[in-house]
Amino acid sequence: MPSFEVGHKQLIHVLERSQEAMAMHFATVKENQFADIPHKISASGLPQIEGCAAYFECETVSVHTGGDHNIIVAKVLNLKHDPQSHPLIFAHSQFMGLDFSTSKESS
């Protein structure tokens, strides 16, 4: 994955609880992932999805092999969050909030 090589920057998004459909959109590979997604280009030139609970701008420091996965260690360069939003969590094969109640879209 070239975008996660050492020295490359990524913008990690923490989706808002209401963005379950967006999570499903990004669960499959598409030629242009951001084509129908409301976003802007951040100051660092990375796509930034609108309305997320938080954003972490990171730079890959090292990559380690862990079985059939790569473990990416990154340094956080910038962080933005909306203290009024509620993050979307995926656990136990379903979407939920931090209070572990099932997401409204899943009900």
For residues 66-90, give the mean pLDDT. Answer: 94
For residues 73-98, give the mean pLDDT. Answer: 92
Compute the distance between CA of residue 66 and CA of residue 101 in angstroms, rounded to an integer. Answer: 32
Compute the distance between CA of residue 5 and CA of residue 17 in angstroms, rounded to an integer. Answer: 30
Using the predicted structure, report yes or no on whether residue 106 has a pLDDT greater than 70.
Answer: no
Contact 60, 2 (CB under 8 A): no
Spell out the domains of the chain, with CATH numbers in brackets.
2-96 (2.30.110.10)
Using the predicted structure, report yes or no on whether residue 105 has a pLDDT greater than 90.
Answer: no
Using the predicted structure, report yes or no on whether residue 80 has a pLDDT greater than 90.
Answer: yes
Is the pLDDT higher at 92 or at 58?
Answer: 58
